[in-house]
Structure 1
Amino acid sequence: MEYDGGAADPGKRGLRRELLSARRALTPDERAGAGTALAAHALLLPELADARTVAAYVSVGTEPATTELLEELRLRGTRVLLPALLPDDDLDWGTYTGPGSLAAVRHGGRMELSEPAGARLGPDAVLSADVVLLPGLAVDARGMRLGRGGGSYDRVLARLERAGARPSLVVLLYDTEVVARVPAEAHDRPVHAVVTPTGVRRFTRP
């Protein structure tokens, strides 16, 4: 659910190009199958089983599909928050109540997103989340996540830190996107776990 943002770090740019190219090589059936397998592993996470509120996202393009995971969380009775992109690339939030609660929104010349059609809850709504599911392109052995450079989730993570909120941070990726190391900057924050189609890997929580 992130955009390319032309990040200054050339190492990040090059790695993003490689990872996006690999994603584009996947067939629609491969992406759908990955989403189904990923959802099955994610739903076994104790963090999600115990969560009252989960901040998630609707996958777009070649991202691992999140549709099944969102619906299963809803059917469990979990309150699911979904992002809506603001003009400054920050994120507002709304509640997911089923596929009919989503609306297609195009932001200028960028890709179309599925966003919550109901009332907006404000950027601080994410502070109520017990778990935040994050999009990304890669994660390394330290738990450092590589996003797509738009900065939306950097703002979310900074907001959580300022408020002293400590939800579980979980990134959803393909298996090949768990790598040895990604370039990191001072503002980058590690995640606590990654879920892929073949399982879960946890990182040391600070």
Structure 2
Amino acid sequence: MLGDTGEKARLRGEKLAARDTLTPLERQQKSLSITEHGATGLPFAPGTVISGFMPIRSEADIRPLMEALRGRGARLVLPVVLDRETIVFRAFDVDTPLVKTGFGTTGPGEDAHVLDPDMLLVPLSVFDGQGQRVGYGAGHYDRAIARLYEKGKNPVLVGVAFDCQEAASIPAEPHDVPLHAVLTESGLHWFSAPSSVPFSGQNAV
């Protein structure tokens, strides 16, 4: 019988394979649906620092969503991988050039300001109906979220994925921090009410 770590690895492989079977057109269409749901559904005040991400491999393309959130007054940041242990969040303004930042990612260069996000749009490999998530195995977001908590921050965590990445359940380990919500092509689904932003309780699951 697989332990929790082994089960997470199995789910990761299974759901990333399912995501990879989506055609480019299907990913584009589903990504546009994600934008539509997130652009109006995510609650935040102008000036809120929101972390997005540039898509790699077969991830959802949330670049249109980030621009929609910018239009609502969000201040955007992008995660930048410094090493195998650490990511930081650098300001992503309209005119910010993007550079290769390692590990197959792109982001703002070293001259961009580092900011602590109030809301994180989190890429993932698997999610379940209780808000548990499985990342890509490196633990970058887990450590980044832990550091934000250590600073007294309480960021809103919104997973971004396609519906095909949902699992019936994910084994929760003591260090796991559940998502507040997940955003997919079928909608924005809340698991718990975040304390740091207005919350209407709509779309709760």
Q: TM-score range by the shorter chain?
A: 0.7 to 0.9
Match of 1:52 in 2: 48
- Give 1:170's aligned residue: 158
Which digits, 9 at most, give the CA deviation of each residue in 1:35-90, with x for residues without a partner? 11101101112424656211121111101111111222223332101011012331
Partners of 1:137 and 1:18 lie apart in 2 by 9
Which structure 1 segments of 5+ residues have no match?
1-7
Question: Is 1:42–1:48's contact at 8 Å kept on the other side of the alignment?
Answer: no
Q: Is the 8 A contact 1:47 1:168 kept in 2?
A: no
Q: 1:98 to 1:51 in 2, by over 3 A?
A: closer
TM-score, structure 1 as length reference: 0.84
| Number of aligned residue pairs | 192
| Structure 2 residues not aligned, in runs of 5+ | 195-205
Q: 1:81 to 1:100 in 2, by over 3 A?
A: closer
Compared with structure 1, are the counterparts of its residues 182 and 51 closer, same or farther at alpha carbon in structure 2 (3 Å cutoff)? farther
Equivalent position of 2:105 in the other structure: 113
Change over 3 Å in CA distance of 1:18–1:51 after alignment to 2? farther
Verify the 8 A CA contact 1:83 1:93 in the aligned structure 2.
yes
Aligned counterpart for 1:67 among listed residues 49, 56, 63: 63
How many angstroms does 1:164 deviate by?
2.3
Amino acid at match of 1:70: M
What is the CA distance between 1:176 and its match in structure 2? 2.1
Q: Percent identity among equivalent residues?
A: 32
> Is 1:51–1:130's contact at 8 Å kept on the other side of the alignment?
no
> What SS is found at the alignment partner of 1:176?
helix
Instruction: Give the match's secondary structure for 1:12.
Output: helix
Q: Does 1:188 align with 2:180?
A: no
Which structure shows the higher helix fraction?
1
Structure 2 SS opposite 1:154 = helix
**How much has 1:17 moved relative to structure 2?**
0.8
What letter corresponds to residue 198 of structure 1 in structure 2?
S
Matched, 1:17 2:6: no
2:135 aligned with 1:147: yes
1:18 is paired with a residue whose SS is: helix
Q: Quick one: structure 1 residues 51 and 201, their matched pair in 2 at CA, closer, same or farther if it must change by over 3 Å?
A: farther
CA RMSD of aligned residues (A): 2.2
With structure 2 as the length reference, what TM-score do the two structures score? 0.84
Q: Deviations over 1:117-149 (max 9, x none)?
A: 362434xx22xx221111111221221111111
